[in-house]
Amino acid sequence: MRTPLRLGAVLATTVLTASALAGCGAGSGDTIKIGAIAGLTGTFITEEVVKTAQRVFDDANDAGGINGKKIEYIVKDDAGNAERTAQVARELLDAGVVAMAGSASFTDCDVNDGLYRQQKISSVMAVGASPTCYASPQIAPVNVGPFTLLTAVALHASQKLGDKRICNFTVVLPGSEEAVKLALDKWERLSGLKLVINDLTVQQSGDLTPYILRAKEADCDAVMFNTAEQMVVPWLQAAKTQKMDDVDFLLLAPAYTDSVAKAVGGLGLNVYAGSEFEPFTSDSLANAKWRETVTRASASPTAFSQGGYLSAKFMVEVLRSVKGEITRDSVNEALKTMTPIDDPMMASPFVFGPGEAHAPNQGSKIVRLTGLKWAVVDDTFITVPND
């Protein structure tokens, strides 16, 4: 899903990492330390997330900080390694961070949820991916995530496209099977329909043609598939070979990329994808402030950088609401009692709250491949109702 870093990006990463590490031991009573875990090296690179979040915090500091104190943003690189993820979380706690914001790590939630609960430190996460991210009292991701997104794109197929025979093919990551089933069960309750095919056995490698043939033989109106570019492109190419031109193909956010559009936009298939926020390729007013910020941050304009922007923005607002000294306890209390924050980039208000689980973003907009670009289908979010 990520493009390997070129030399310039590597140098930028080095500078960012060095700056972050230098800040670990430099804190004082004059700063408010906020931590983040991200992939600055390795195969899952989320550099644009923390670069954009850093810009938001810098803007807050340039505007006078929080009650006269500067925000010190400490970013740790876990390199996509679970052992490293555990290690850097402890380093952040030792450095005295009062909260986390802008984290974007595939392993953070599963590895560190227990530590965050034990240490009572809260994380406004930029990019959550595993079920644990949405089932913790200490973590609230700003992105909608793969499970709510699965329900949303299925609702688009049944409610907007009028599809009746909907088929699902999912590559299930370890620990995610129950969350996938719950998301699909929810769609069945909301739509009154039943999936014609629900195949959760798709492997991350191998020939995809047998799955496409199964969908074709079942006469599916719509086919959902949850993976990123490496599998989506051959998936759609196999569908084109089977002449499935009248089928609606529905993808999740990992496939909503410019490179996927260029690779398969010329096939002439009906391809849709769900977005995590206001679609990042849209020049809408809702994206204006984020786009200006990500440009000044010299970061890539992606859905991930939208998450970094929003998580930092929400953290700044919460910090400004704290009365008195800003400590881990006072930030926790402010998050638990915060007034929900509306933002046009999200389908539903962001709120942390006192609950045992947090999934505040409950909606998605749908984009469609039009030629070699993604276009927003309509200007309204599909919001998944709470049970």
Ordered by where they begin, the domains of the chain are 31-145+284-356 (3.40.50.2300), 146-275+365-383 (3.40.50.2300)
Q: Which residues of 353-366 are buried (b: 16+ CB within 10 A; e: fewer)?
A: eeeeebbbbbbbbb
pTM greater than 0.85? yes
Check residue 386 and give its pLDDT: 79
Q: Please give the average per-residue pLDDT across 111-125, as a whole number.
A: 98
Check residue 378 and give its pLDDT: 85
Distance separating alpha carbons of residues 346 and 215, to the nearest angstrom: 33
For 315-329, give the DSSP string: HHHHHHH--S---HH
Distance separating alpha carbons of residues 284 and 157, to the nearest angstrom: 24
Phi, psi of 70 (to 5 degrees): -85, 145
The SS3 call for residue 140 is strand
Q: Please give the average per-residue pLDDT across 78-98, as a whole number.
A: 97
Between β-strands 366-370 and 270-274, what pairing exists: parallel, antiparallel or unpaired? Answer: antiparallel
Distance separating alpha carbons of residues 128 and 144, to the nearest angstrom: 8
pLDDT band at 341 (very low <50, low <70, confident <90, very high): very high
Check residue 229 and give its pLDDT: 87
Between β-strands 373-376 and 366-370, what pairing exists: parallel, antiparallel or unpaired? Answer: antiparallel
Distance separating alpha carbons of residues 356 and 354, to the nearest angstrom: 7
